[in-house]
Chains A and B, each alone.
Chain A
């Protein structure tokens, strides 16, 4: 070999080694903070590149998987991992979309035999290291007849990420002991909506019910990372009776484990007294070793509980004004809570009530609405599907926001708000966008947003992936009032009226890309998020396809 070719071989080898440094998306919402934030720069954080976004591959390349991808992909070790409602979990090659393995192979599918336990895999997997093996952990029903008759009691499954071989299958973490709708003697527990959280030597998962039929007592279960056995030292239940389901994926930081909880009152006709222990409708931090409640933040009192489950999970933000935990309740109100104390830092829209708590004498405006997606944190900015100021205006034609179908409450379903977490209330809103090609008024119009470098990605119910530029990156398309009912039809002085009435004029950000997914199917389930890696973005759809999108 002559010297010159050898020189190029060396250079090319160096390039090859460097290009192997991919930036992964190893869990639902990216990390244990559930930030939804890809921290590393790449083509997908470059506003100049994002307009070139297009579908690179589809899996399966023909037909469909057969189920629905209600879970989102996680990506590491050059593999895409995703589970389906059909009860199978897959590993795909991240570059080509070729299937590498599936579990179980060939079957039986991870489905229970009754409605409470036949959900398959509806939450994302999580990366872990077990006995020096690279592993992926997910939750699903166990079809084995030896477990509660095969009705669909849930377990966590830890598989070798390279081979798909089982490392462990956990103890049973959720029980289905009967199939009688409304039964208060059977257990109807699920782990469908909760992606496992790996923190130190434990794996945490939330337990909830199925359509409140009937409501179950919410739980968080911890299993040992190395063995899959339930840790008996950790105990958390939401109430002393029923309620407080954990419909989301726990988050964590060095202080503890965070999650949110569902309603407590919505069973037995709502006539029963408040349980003595009631951690329902709360954001909660628990001790990671014992499960003891460090604090809870419960803004809606029991007597106003008209089923505004807190089902969007918590996102931990290390902001310039301290550590915050942020989320939106199902009624559309958004909160930032001090991670150390559980005290309310702010709520949106503000009510100026002490501790952001609604007075029990207040109106019944906390109902079964559909603000259920976790937010993405980016520096001090929270990007989230939230109700906004429309919540403070009576609905049309009926008055109470808690009743579905009133437009003031549902108008935000296809809308993203970005909030400045560390400013005073009058500068809280950063921007607002009604996401294009998402159906206004549909409670399942957009998925959970993710962000990298100020580029926000979100999927829609009409099968689109939309990329949005924070106005710090690209000039906005225009401006709007944070109260949508003040606009040019109000009069030419609408900007002045907007601020005179205590609202904000905020930018409407530019849409950089709007990609139609080939199957055109709903990609906006509660746990559908675009997984952002260094140079690709991965999404799943309800029609059983996984897509990789890139700018090259």
Chain B
């Protein structure tokens, strides 16, 4: 009788171990199909990322800009390479450039109006090149969902 009891105990223990082992070893690793919760707002955000040289700064109301290269050039002139980023779904204004310039569209698309009289503007797509006069204000209308990024080569006569 005691042997039977011992056998039952062993079987129960083995069944328990088997169940534990089966459930443990056949446990699939955690899987996520959901996006993460949104980041906290305002001051609660801690920055943790790279800070590259040539980061953008704010210019005017809603334009990001950076100067990636500048040098004095012959005949008392100055050459500067600037990048501008214009936000999506917004109209942005840049005050006049210090010299004549060439604008090279890098990504996104927008409509450029030069000076106060240009009401219609010109649609610019990636790889487009556009010459710009000195001193005239520029209005960029970015109706797209992506930022509009251009590089501007400014040639300034001092």
> Is the C-beta of A276 less than 8 angstroms from some C-beta in chain B?
no
Given contacts A7-B10, A361-B125, whether A38 and B29 have CB atoms under 8 Å apart is yes
> Is the C-beta of B75 less than 8 angstroms from some C-beta in chain A?
no
Contact between A470 and B39, CB atoms less than 8 A apart: no
Contact between A484 and B14, CB atoms less than 8 A apart: no
Contact between B32 and A379, CB atoms less than 8 A apart: yes
Contact between A480 and B47, CB atoms less than 8 A apart: yes
Contact between A453 and B30, CB atoms less than 8 A apart: yes
How many angstroms between the C-alpha atoms of A374 and B155 in the bound complex? 44
Which of A139-147, A251-259, A498-506 participates in binding chain B?
A498-506
Contact between A485 and B55, CB atoms less than 8 A apart: yes
Residues of chain A within 8 A (CB-CB) of B62 are 500
Question: Nearest-CB distance from A49 to chain B (Å)?
Answer: 13
Question: Nearest-CB distance from B128 to chain A (Å)?
Answer: 9
Contact between B45 and A479, CB atoms less than 8 A apart: yes
The A interface is mostly helix, strand or loop, or mixed, namely: loop
Which of A121-129, A184-192, A221-229, A424-432 participates in binding chain B?
A424-432
Chain A's closest residue to B3 (CB) is A3
Contact between B108 and A430, CB atoms less than 8 A apart: no
Given contacts A40-B29, A502-B147, whether A490 and B54 have CB atoms under 8 Å apart is no
Residues of chain B within 8 A (CB-CB) of A422 are 33
Contact between A3 and B6, CB atoms less than 8 A apart: yes
Contact between A486 and B32, CB atoms less than 8 A apart: no
How many angstroms between the C-alpha atoms of A498 and B55 in the bound complex? 12
From A394, A432, A483, A534, contact of B151 by CB (8 A)? A394
Tell me how many residues of B have a C-beta within 8 Å of chain A.
61
Question: Nearest-CB distance from A5 to chain B (Å)?
Answer: 13
Question: Nearest-CB distance from B82 to chain A (Å)?
Answer: 10
Which of A10-18, A153-161, A174-182 participates in binding chain B?
A10-18
- Of B6, B29, B83, B87, most A-chain CB atoms within 10 Å: B29
> Is the C-beta of B58 less than 8 angstroms from some C-beta in chain A?
yes
- Of A14, A379, A476, most B-chain CB atoms within 10 Å: A14
Residues of chain B within 8 A (CB-CB) of A359 are 126
> Is the C-beta of A495 less than 8 angstroms from some C-beta in chain B?
yes
The B interface is mostly helix, strand or loop, or mixed, namely: loop
Given contacts A352-B145, A361-B125, A479-B48, whether A397 and B58 have CB atoms under 8 Å apart is no
Q: For window 57-77 of chain A, which residues contact chain B by CB distance below 8 Å?
A: none
Chain A's closest residue to B14 (CB) is A14
From B55, B83, B87, contact of A489 by CB (8 A)? B55
Q: For window 22-40 of chain B, which residues contact chain A by CB distance below 8 Å?
A: 24-36, 39
> Is the C-beta of A240 less than 8 angstroms from some C-beta in chain B?
no
Interface string of A410-422 (1 = CB under 8 A from B): 0100000000101
Interface string of A473-500 (1 = CB under 8 A from B): 1001111110111111111011101001
Contact between A472 and B108, CB atoms less than 8 A apart: no
Contact between A41 and B106, CB atoms less than 8 A apart: no
Question: Nearest-CB distance from B53 to chain A (Å)?
Answer: 8
Question: Nearest-CB distance from A489 to chain B (Å)?
Answer: 5
> Is the C-beta of A292 less than 8 angstroms from some C-beta in chain B?
no
Question: Nearest-CB distance from B85 to chain A (Å)?
Answer: 6
How many angstroms between the C-alpha atoms of A422 and B32 in the bound complex? 12
Given contacts A3-B6, A379-B33, A392-B147, whether A411 and B28 have CB atoms under 8 Å apart is no
Question: Nearest-CB distance from B57 to chain A (Å)?
Answer: 6
Chain A's closest residue to B127 (CB) is A363
Contact between B35 and A430, CB atoms less than 8 A apart: yes
Q: For window 41-71 of chain B, which residues contact chain A by CB distance below 8 Å?
A: 42, 45-58, 62, 64, 66, 68-69
Contact between A351 and B57, CB atoms less than 8 A apart: no
Q: For window 35-58 of chain A, which residues contact chain B by CB distance below 8 Å?
A: 38-42, 45
> Is the C-beta of B107 less than 8 angstroms from some C-beta in chain A?
yes
How many angstroms between the C-alpha atoms of A15 and B104 in the bound complex? 69
Tell me how many residues of A have a C-beta within 8 Å of chain B.
80
> Is the C-beta of B21 less than 8 angstroms from some C-beta in chain A?
yes
Given contacts A477-B48, A485-B52, A502-B147, whether A11 and B32 have CB atoms under 8 Å apart is no
> Is the C-beta of A288 less than 8 angstroms from some C-beta in chain B?
no
> Is the C-beta of B144 less than 8 angstroms from some C-beta in chain A?
yes
Contact between A11 and B33, CB atoms less than 8 A apart: no
Q: For window 82-99 of chain B, which residues contact chain A by CB distance below 8 Å?
A: 83, 85, 87-88
Question: Nearest-CB distance from A311 to chain B (Å)?
Answer: 24
Contact between B47 and A502, CB atoms less than 8 A apart: no
From A319, A381, A452, A490, contact of B29 by CB (8 A)? A452
Contact between A18 and B21, CB atoms less than 8 A apart: yes
Residues of chain B within 8 A (CB-CB) of A486 are 55-56, 64
Contact between A479 and B47, CB atoms less than 8 A apart: yes
- Of A320, A432, A434, A489, most B-chain CB atoms within 10 Å: A489
Contact between A487 and B49, CB atoms less than 8 A apart: yes
Contact between B56 and A490, CB atoms less than 8 A apart: yes
- 14 additional A-B pairs beyond A41-B28, A430-B36, A454-B29, beta carbons within 8 Å, are A10-B10, A21-B21, A40-B25, A320-B33, A363-B105, A379-B33, A393-B149, A432-B49, A484-B52, A487-B47, A500-B87, A502-B88, A508-B48, A508-B49
User: Could you tell me which B residues sit within 8 Å of A by CB distance?
Assistant: 6, 9-10, 13-14, 17-18, 21, 24-36, 39, 42, 45-58, 62, 64, 66, 68-69, 81, 83, 85, 87-88, 104-108, 125-127, 144-147, 149, 151
16 contacts between A and B (CB under 8 A): A14-B14, A18-B21, A38-B29, A352-B144, A362-B125, A381-B32, A393-B107, A430-B35, A430-B36, A478-B48, A479-B49, A490-B58, A493-B58, A502-B146, A506-B39, A507-B39
